[in-house]
Structure 1
Amino acid sequence: MRYALCVMRFFMTKNKIILTICLASLFGLFAGVVGALIAKVYIFNEIPYLEPINLSSDNYSRSNLIIRGAKKVIVSQDIKVEEIINSTYNSIVGIFKKNADNYYQLNNEIESGLIITSDGWIIAKALPENSKNEDFIIITRSNEIYNIDKIIKDKMTSFDFIHVQGVKDFSVKSFSDIQEIKNGQLVMTASWKNENYLTSIAGRLNNSKLVKSSDSFSDELVLTNNFNETKDLILFNLNGQIVGLRDKNNIIRPITHFQSAIQSLLKNQKIQRPILGVYYINLSDIISKDIQYKKGAMIRKNNLGISIIKNSPADSAGLREGDIITTINNTELNKNNNLTYIIQNYSAEDSVTIEYLRNNEKKKIEVKLGAY
């Protein structure tokens, strides 16, 4: 009898222990779920739950990378860079000095060229001043050799526009808009020699001159790395768009510097850039107690004492020193849209409507842009 009672007590005690363990586990699980929900709602609400973190979203950075785990970051970046290299590979050509034997070593190019139209227009750093079409040939990535039938020089940028014969299907990449070029943005360098580097935009640098021209650019792109060892440098963003080109003075020009020249080239078979003919201060770039307006282009004398070029469209339209241009065709002038970029987005001889302030009075005029 005593033995039976001992057995019963043993099993009752064991059941209590098991019950206690089960209850503790249940409460622990419940607390964990509640804690996770609180963390998700109040602490980590910006992080996608059970999803990859997309670093191209506005909440993170401009990098077009998706992180699915810390160990995969470098792998993902390498894959993205490889995609860009492959997508831009065929849009770059080599420019070679023509030889009588008609054979070429592919690493002996004199310049890299960037294809800008499918029918054979290429842009490259300026060839020697007295260069003739028959002095050079173009070689593509598929090792096809093309003769040059046109070389047109762009004096503003020190680049040449080169055309080759008999082409209809060259590979072309789109241009990045100047507003899409951001500090810290990842970009990739490319050249005929496949010198590919991943770097980033450190900023857009304007020259130190306070007074600028409506008819020439004064800004350049600065990279976080200095690629002096790379003779030619073409910049692409991680969408495969063209961002900029380095000129013979090692200045990296945004691709938008070439847009009006390209438009003119395709339309007229020659380069004509638009002219307004004013010198100005971008009010978004300065702080002054004497000027109540914080944006716009105030016409001002340059270091040579010229504010409006004689017989220019601005002169003919009656603009004066001290006028503040506020809009061009309803596009507001501000920190992101200065007068030069707006004017240079048009073609020579286009007509534009200019709104401006004179002695605090709003005025409006129609101006036909000149050409040079």
Structure 2
Amino acid sequence: MRRVIYSLLIILIAGISALSGAIAGGAVIYYFVQNQPQLVIPTPTESLATETIASDEPQLQQIIITDIDSAITDAVDKVGPAVVTVVGTLNNSRSGQTVSGSGVIISGDGYILTNNHVIDDTVEVYVILANGKELPTQIIGGDLFSDIAVLKIDNPPPQIATFGNSDMLRPGESVIAIGSPLGDFKNTVTVGVISGTERSLAINENYAMDGLLQTDAAINQGNSGGPLVNLAGEVIGINTLILRGGNFGTAIAEGLGFAIAANKAQAIAEQIIEKGYFSYPFLGVRYQWLTERIIQQYELPVNGGIYLSHIQPNSPASKAGLQEGDIITQIGDQIINQEHPFINVLYTYSPGDTTTLNIVRQNDSFEVSITFGEHPNP
């Protein structure tokens, strides 16, 4: 399915406030309200002919509903104490402007998983536990592309969240979102279902967030970095963004919340804890994404790809013989196009991997072998 670039309509859901009070910052908005119909249990009829059926079925429904309610409250009791409010002071903010989001404690060492956009460009971060206690934190590292970051507290954590297997999720499964909307309403709980898996949203022409979980559990400003939990009380996602659809915001697509799948978030967090950053493959080029307009304007002999405007000396690209003016149209078996942006294709590889690049140089097409380096630590 063609990816659609939702210009200015993809909203990261960290909350921003100033000392004088909470304000909305940048493109951050909130607008979701979950309206769930009240369940009505039918009253058994007294007719003798239908006495058994009429009396048993409502009892079964009542048991099912009670079991679901108990599962939700048990799950919240299990993971709730591990959910924190994350507050950071923005860099170069004279008025003490702060950004707030959520996070979840994932280890006995005090490591906390949150979104990178919650702590990006902050100079000081602290967390507020579910019991209201404030604790200073250390920023271990973050990753822009996956929107994952890791913090650490020195105090013994009140609770540790456990991860579930996000690869096993199916649409329709009940889920719970826990976080701090507006930064003030700690451990707010909303309930919904998995609306879809493996969703992909284009952030810009060069990159799309892949493998997202879609949910209709209400996600609001300040929920960024909070956990999406299954009925077993396991973290199966990290809430990250909401989507506003329509032409220039005239139409609102309600119930479109997205979370980073837990398996991906956990793998990235583990590497950030180990290295302080997430390791990506390195090519060593500057490039221009080739849009249809550029291809037509310059009558280029390609259908898509990237135009290399600079080759870094002694980089993997330089060692592979790439030159300025070359066009990369394919990496390995994957053609680069709007559905498969260059960065997404590149980041399916790891540092040290060897593959082939399809190159167009003037009117010649050929393949080169390349071994990726490790992207310098930002």
AA at the equivalent of 2:305: K
Return the structure number with greater helix share: 1
Tell me, in whole angstroms, the C-alpha distance in 2 between the residues paired with 1:120 and 1:258: 17
Number of aligned positions between the proteins = 259
Secondary structure, counterpart of 1:171 in structure 2:
coil
- Which of 186, 191, 194 aligns to 1:198? It is 191
Q: State the percentage of identical aligned residues.
A: 15
Q: Which runs of 5+ in 2 are unaligned?
A: 1-58, 90-98, 181-185, 245-256, 290-301, 335-339
2:316 paired with 1:325? no
Partner of 2:75: 84
Kindly indicate whether residue 124 of structure 2 is the aligned counterpart of residue 129 of structure 1.
Answer: no
Point out which structure has higher relative CO (alpha carbons under 8 A, 6+ apart): 2
3-state DSSP of counterpart to 1:207: strand
| Pair 228,245 (structure 1): closer, same or farther in 2 beyond 3 Å | closer
Pairing of 1:183-332 with structure 2 (within 5 A): 183-192=171-180, 193-203=186-196, 204-207=198-201, 213=207, 217-218=209-210, 220-224=212-216, 226-228=218-220, 231-232=223-224, 233-239=226-232, 240-247=234-241, 252-255=258-261, 258-259=265-266, 261-268=268-275, 270-277=276-283, 300-302=304-306, 306=307, 310-311=311-312, 313=316, 316-317=319-320, 321-323=328-330, 325-326=332-333
Larger Rg: 1
3-state DSSP of counterpart to 2:195 = strand
C-alpha distance 301-339 of structure 1, shift in aligned 2 (>3 A): closer
TM-score computed with the length of structure 1 as normaliser: 0.52
Q: Does the CA-based 8 Å contact 1:151-1:162 persist in structure 2? A: yes
Residue 45 of structure 2 corresponds to none
Counterpart of 2:123 in structure 1: which amino acid? S
Query: For 1:1-372, what aligned pairs fall within 5 Å after superposition?
Result: 69-95=60-86, 110-125=100-115, 126-127=118-119, 129-133=121-125, 136=126, 138-141=127-130, 144-150=133-139, 152-157=141-146, 160-167=149-156, 171-174=160-163, 176-177=165-166, 179-192=167-180, 193-203=186-196, 204-207=198-201, 213=207, 217-218=209-210, 220-224=212-216, 226-228=218-220, 231-232=223-224, 233-239=226-232, 240-247=234-241, 252-255=258-261, 258-259=265-266, 261-268=268-275, 270-277=276-283, 300-302=304-306, 306=307, 310-311=311-312, 313=316, 316-317=319-320, 321-323=328-330, 325-326=332-333, 344=347, 350-354=351-355, 366-371=371-376, 372=378
Contact 1:313 1:367 in 2 (8 A): yes
Tell me which moved more, 83-92 or 122-131.
122-131
TM-score normalised by length of structure 2: 0.51
Describe the superposition over 1:195-234 as per-residue Cα deviations: whole angstroms up to 9, x where unpaired.
2222122234423599755xx6356443235544775553
* Alpha-carbon offset, residue 355 of structure 1: 6.8
CA distance in 2, matches of 1:186, 1:142: 27
Q: CA deviation at 1:140?
A: 2.8
Q: Distance in 2 between matches of 1:351 and 1:275?
A: 8
Q: 1:142 and 1:207, CA in 2 relative to 1: closer, same or farther beyond 3 A?
A: closer
Paired with 1:89 and 1:180, the residues of 2 have a C-alpha distance of 23
Opposite residue 117 of structure 1, the aligned amino acid is: S
What is the deviation of 1:274? 0.4
The CA distance in 1 between the partners of 2:106 and 2:345, in whole Å, is 22
Distance 1:147 1:228, change over 3 A: closer
Distance 2:345 2:79 in 1: 29
Please give the root-mean-square deviation of Cα atoms over the aligned residues, in Å: 4.8
The answer for the alignment partner of 1:33 in structure 2 is none
Gaps of at least 5 residues in structure 1 are 1-67, 99-108, 282-297, 328-336
Aligned partner of residue 118 in structure 1, secondary structure: coil
Instruction: Compare the two structures and name the one with the higher strand fraction.
Output: 2
